[in-house]
Amino acid sequence: MTELLRPVVDPDEFVRLFGRPFTHEAHACGRVNLIGEHTDYNGGFVLPTAIPQSTTAVVAPGRDRTVRAWSADVDGAAPVGFELGQERPGRGWIDYVQGTTVALARAGFTVAGFDVAFRSYVPVGSGLSSSAALEVSLLRALRSLFGLALDDVTLAKIGRAAETDFVGAPIGIMDQMSASLASPGEALFIDTRTLETHRVPLPRGTELLVINSGVAHNHAAGDYRTRRAECERAAALLGVRELRDLGVGDLARVAELPPPLDRRARHVITENQRVLDAVEAMRAGRPDVLGRLFNESHASQRDDYAVSVLEIDLLVELACEEPAVYGARLTGGGFGGSIVALVREGEAAAAGSRVVAAYGARTGHAATVLVPPIAGHTGAGAL
């Protein structure tokens, strides 16, 4: 993986906006999930890695209990304000800031007013955790500004609470754990029930290719919420707390569930096993096995979990036609977003360019190679 791409917030712009210089700066990466999709909110296993694109948050002490926030990536934006303790949802991108201050207060952490500015290279709606990068960069900046006793796992929990309890996106904790703990060049195995983590090196002689389809998704939308409810219903019918409590030996029982609950549960159970198998493949240096698991994961998301779309399926198909590609899959929540492919080292950029060109010719969508970064490419967008 390459070095981090850290966007810069212009100090003079901050002074122009807020009348004072910023005092603290923090960054957080987006993530690509290598395998383990829709398992985190089922108490299961995930295997993300950080991508080079990151979000920057710069902060300064404010006045009284007023928070003022600005993003370089919101067209024509002026600073948006609110009072601590008076946060109200439904205000657009500022909800992620409001949600963070609410979650901090509920967790027992006290902050005063502050000014914050963001700039991000993590594209919105791409399945690469732009919201988690914003939340974690803000929390890191506030940790420094106010001397908060926040360890990295607690920080991730607060970021997730901001998104689930205030913004209303029914996500698991993978995104915030990855933004808080993951590093480029290695995978982060997370047991989302215990929050135990292990770092796993990517196989030698390989690199990742991440392509944004140009079809945006929205975690707060109904389809994602429906999938979570279906999993909860399946677990209840099977008499377990979470689908994590079942293994591949239980698939015969799962097959007796009414559709589509049988397919939803089958995806989660087999995907959990694929994460464990992927860790073993990486430790054994078997990119061929890891690539096969990528392909199986995508088929399961497409057929059993029904979160892929035609454009994503086409990107995966085109990627798998490349001789240097071991395997490819939808990454992120689905209904658009991005794909991740495992590629022979040194060949991802060329393969990605060919895939993007063929995809554009067939769909009219402008896909973007995000990893490896194209020369001069910085990504785009923040919340």
Q: Are strands 45-61 and 24-35 parallel, antiparallel or unpaired?
A: antiparallel
**What angle do the packed helices 130-146 and 174-181 form, to 10 degrees?**
50
Contact call for residues 334 and 37 (beta carbons, < 8 A) = yes
Cα 231–chain centre separation: 20
Question: Given the structure tokens 């404010």, which residue do they identify?
Answer: 62
Q: Which of 182, 175, 220 is nearest to 331 (CA)?
A: 175
Residue written as token pair 């198998």:
277
Instruction: Report how many helices (DSSP H) and strands (DSSP E) the chain contains, helices first.
Output: 11, 11
The verdict on whether 175 is a catalytic residue reads yes
Query: What's the rounded Cα separation, in Å, for the pair 379 and 353?
Result: 15
Q: What angle do CA 168, 109, 92 make, to 5 degrees?
A: 30
Q: Please list, in sequence order, all residues whose beta carbon lies within 8 angstroms of the beta carbon of residue 185, skipping any fewer than 6 positions away.
A: 1, 49, 201, 202
Tally the residues of the chain: 383
Strands (E), 213-335: 325-331
Name the residue among 248, 237, 275, 233 with its Cα closest to residue 45: 275
The CB density around residue 151, as the number of other CB atoms within 10 Å, is 10
d(CA 256, CA 170): 27
In Å, how far from its chain's centre is CA 115?
26
Please tell me the distance from the alpha carbon of residue 171 to that of residue 99, in angstroms, as a whole number: 14
Q: Which of 40, 73, 175, 262 is catalytic?
A: 175
Torsion of CA 269, 275, 280, 285, to 10 degrees: 140
Residues 6+ apart with CB under 8 A from 304: 263, 264, 266, 267, 270
Active site residue ranges: 175
